Amino acid sequence: MDKSRAFLFALVGILAGVVLIFAGGCKRPEPAKIIMNIDGKAFSDASILIDGKPVGRLTQTVITSDRKIYIDGVFSANLPPASEPVDGDTYAGCADSIIVSAGDHTISLQAPDGESLQILAAVSPGFHLLTYSADEKMLKWDGEKVAAEPGAKVAVGRKK
């Protein structure tokens, strides 16, 4: 009787394990990937912190009025003569595929001059696009628009 009972418990345990494997119970949660784009001088060369930990910095691109392109302060190219005229210097910054777990995170942009912007984001699995227009002082998170002055804390991605 003891051997048959032990066999029955082992069989039930194996069947439960098989059911869990086929039901997808061992899958890891899908991560979130954040792509950042900054338009304008403010924060175009900012450091990026997530939950207070440094994760990188934005790659700054500057196109000067004399048609020169600088990437992170290094001369890279001249615009061709046939391209559109350039009125003043233009600045942009970008960061590609910062990977975080899904959940609530604080994304901070810290400019070299000390200015900062904090984004309280509810991050779901998948890709997210965060853009900031320095001229318009507007932050976009996956199509959601929020006014965002330097020094502010803004919340995005939460259900309303």
Examine residue 21 and state whether it is found in any structural domain, yes or no: no
Angle, alpha carbons 95-101-107 (nearest 5°): 45
Examine residue 52 and state whether it is found in any structural domain, yes or no: yes
What pLDDT does 103 receive?
A: 92
- Mapping DSSP to helix (H, G, I), strand (E, B) and coil, where does residue 65 land? coil
Examine residue 14 and state whether it is found in any structural domain, yes or no: no
Q: What is the pTM for the complete model shown?
A: 0.77
Examine residue 2 and state whether it is found in any structural domain, yes or no: no
What pLDDT does 24 receive?
A: 61
Cβ neighbours for 39, distance < 8 A, ≥ 6 positions apart? 91, 92, 131, 132, 133, 134, 135
As given in the structure block, the two tokens for residue 29 are 């949660």
- Phi and psi angles of residue 84, each rounded to the nearest 5 degrees, phi first: -55, 145
DSSP codes of every residue in 17-44: HHHHHHTTTTPPPPPEEEEEEEESSTTT
Q: How many domains does the chain have?
A: 1
Checking DSSP bridges between strand 153-156 and strand 59-63, what pairing results, if any?
Answer: unpaired
Q: Would you give per-residue pLDDT tens digits along the chain (160 residues)?
A: 576 776 666 666 676 666 666 666 556 678 899 999 999 999 999 999 999 999 999 999 999 988 899 999 999 999 888 777 778 899 999 998 899 999 999 999 999 999 999 999 999 999 999 999 999 999 999 989 999 999 999 999 876 5
The number of beta carbons lying within 10 Å of the beta carbon of residue 74 is 7
Examine residue 57 and state whether it is found in any structural domain, yes or no: yes
Examine residue 4 and state whether it is found in any structural domain, yes or no: no
What pLDDT does 79 receive?
A: 87
Give the domain extent around 40: 29-156
As given in the structure block, the two tokens for residue 85 are 């005229």
As given in the structure block, the two tokens for residue 24 are 């997808």
Examine residue 7 and state whether it is found in any structural domain, yes or no: no
Examine residue 12 and state whether it is found in any structural domain, yes or no: no
Residue 125 DSSP class: S
